[in-house]
Amino acid sequence: MGLNIANDLIAEGAQVCLADIKPRPDDIRPGPGASFYREGDLSDDLFVAEAVKETVETFGRLDYLVNTVGVLWFDRDKSLVDVDLEIWDRVVETNLKSHMLTARHAIPAMRASGGGGAIVLFSSIQSLRGDRLAQDAYGASKGAIRSLSKSIAIQFAEDNIRSNVILPGATMSPMQARWKDKEAEIGRHIPLGRLGTTQDQANACLFLLSDKASFITGTELIVDGGITAEP
């Protein structure tokens, strides 16, 4: 999702810093916008601080923050009564702390740039419900992201910094590679009849970043094909 969003921003002429714990992907768009890539852990305060600083130094200002970081460890993230506490801590650190840190460092840069800014954090429809096949650290961390975004929206509204959350539903991405041979079967359980795509999520994100969403802050956009509308 993050790569799709970055490529769409670059295609619109934006100047983008991409950051991830994985090596640089081969398919970052060459332009018409500009970009650079930094490999590192977004739950590490120093790495995030340096990435934001380099972004401002390279491009002169910071207007947008998008955070799609998340891990979903089906084999290790279990019910709260069974999960290894080290796994719990690492999931929460990755999914929630990374969102806090990127906002913590991006907001002062946005304020210094003047003109406001827009933040889009990524939660999940799993934050709205429980699951018999529990991934409790994942669900709890994604729920906390929703709360964090609302707090940011209220705190920094006077700076014209908006903060919203996207709640993706079932979306075909590398995280969900296990669905590759089951797309049609899973799609039958989604009201719109298909899995979501990373482009679906990118379209929603670019809308929330844009001036067309200039009066939208502190809210949640569910992009799930209708799953959560069903009883």
Give the model confidence (pLDDT) of 100-126 as tens digits. Answer: 999 999 999 999 999 999 999 999 999
Radius of gyration for the alpha carbons in the chain, expressed in angstroms and rounded? 17
**Active-site residue identified among 59, 64, 88, 138:** 138
* Cα–Cα distances in angstroms (integers) from residue 45 to residues 62, 71, 97, 105, 132, in the given order: 18, 18, 9, 9, 35
Measured CA to CA, the distance from residue 185 to residue 76 in angstroms comes to 26
pLDDT at 184: 76
pLDDT at 114: 92
Query: What domains can you pick out in the chain, each with its CATH number?
Result: 63-229 (3.40.50.720)
Annotated catalytic residue 37: no
Measured CA to CA, the distance from residue 118 to residue 110 in angstroms comes to 9
Measured CA to CA, the distance from residue 226 to residue 206 in angstroms comes to 20
- Per DSSP, 132 falls in state S
Q: Is 50 exposed, middle or buried (0-12, 13-18, 19+ CB in 10 A)?
A: middle
**Token reading at 163:** 């903060």
Which percentage of the chain shows pLDDT scores above 70?
97
**Which of 190, 143, 138, 199 is CA-nearest to residue 169?**
190
In the predicted model, what is the mean pLDDT of residues 63-79?
93
Residue 174 has pLDDT above 80, yes or no: no
Residue 175 has pLDDT above 90, yes or no: no
